[in-house]
Amino acid sequence: MSAPFGRRLCAVAKNQVSGGYRIFSLLDREGPAPEPGQFYMLASEKSWGEGGGRPYLPRAISVAETAPAKDGVRLDFLVEGVGPGTDRLCELEAGENVWVTGPLGNAFSTPKQVNPDAAGAILVGGGIGIAPMAIWRRRLVEQGIPLRVLLGFRNEAHSGGLNELFCAGGTLCPDIRLASEDGHAGYQGYVTDLLVTMLTGDDATSAVVYSCGPPAMLAAVRSLCEEHGVSYQLAEESPMACGYGACFGCAVPKPGGGYLRLCVDGPVLSGPAGPVTAGDPPPLPVAKASSGGVPPTAPPPGRSAAQETEFCGLELEHPVINASGTYDAIAARKVFGDELLEDFPFSAFVSKTITPEPRAGNKPQRIWETPAAMINSIGLPNKGLEGFLAEDLPQLAELPVPLIVSVMATNRELFSRLVSEVSERDEVAAIELNVSCPNVHSGLIVGEQPSETMSLLEALRPLTEKPLIVKLTPNVANPEAVAVAAEEGGADAVSLINTLKASAIDPVTQQPALAAGHGGLSGPAVRPIALQQLRAVRAAVELPLIGMGGVSCGADAAEFLTAGATLAAVGTESFRDPRAGSRIAKELQTGVSGRPPRVGALDLK
Rule CB under 6 A: which residues touch ligand RRO? Answer: 325, 353, 376-380, 434, 437-439, 498-499, 520
CB-CB neighbours of 181 under 10 Å:
14
Closest by CA to 218, choosing from 236, 197, 196, is 236
Element of type H or E holding 403: strand 403-407
Q: Smallest distance from the beta carbon of 323 to ligand RRO, in angstroms? A: 9
Choose, from 225, 247, 312, 437, the residue flagged as catalytic: 437
Q: How far is the CB of 467 from ligand RRO (least distance, A)?
A: 19
Q: How far apart, in whole angstroms, are the C-alpha atoms of residue 456 and residue 132?
A: 52
Pick between residue 192 and residue 377 the one whose CB is nearest to ligand RRO.
377
Residues paired with 310 in a beta bridge: 315
* Least distance CB 433 / ligand RRO (angstroms): 11
Return the number of the residue (332 or 548) whose C-beta is nearest ligand RRO.
Answer: 548
Nearest distance in Å: CB 363, ligand RRO: 12
| Least distance (Å) between residue 378 CB and ligand RRO | 3
Is 437 among the residues known to form the active site? yes
- Cis-peptide, bond into residue 497, ω within 30° of zero: yes
Query: Nearest to residue 35, comparing CAs of 311, 233, 193, 223?
Result: 233
Which pairing describes strands 187-188 and 176-180: parallel, antiparallel, or unpaired? parallel
Q: How far is CA 465 from CA 244, 411, 422, in A?
A: 35, 21, 11
In the complex with ligand RRO, which residue's Cβ is closer, 66 or 522?
522
Please report, to the nearest 10 degrees, the dihedral formed by the alpha carbons of residues 422, 427, 433, 434 taken in order.
-100
The nearer residue to ligand RRO, 191 or 264, going by C-beta atoms, is 264
Nearest residue to 136 via CA among 216, 264, 34, 239 = 34
Residue 556's Cβ-side half-sphere holds a number of Cα atoms within 13 Å equal to 30
Which SS3 state, helix, strand or coil, does residue 191 take? helix
Of 297 and 434, the one with the shorter C-beta distance to ligand RRO is: 434
Distance, in Å, from the CA atom of 343 to the CA atom of 581, rounded to the nearest integer, reads: 10
**Residue with the closest Cβ to ligand RRO?**
520
CB 504, min distance to ligand RRO, A: 14
Report residue 465 CA to chain centroid gap: 35
Q: For residue 12, what are the β-bridge partners?
A: 26
**CB nearer to ligand RRO: pick between 207 and 404:** 404
Of 107 and 378, nearer to ligand RRO (C-beta) is 378
Smallest distance, ligand RRO to C-beta of residue 438, A: 6
CA distances from 387 to 246, 355, 394, 548 (A): 19, 10, 11, 28
CA dist 267 and 238 (Å) reads 9
Active site residues: 437
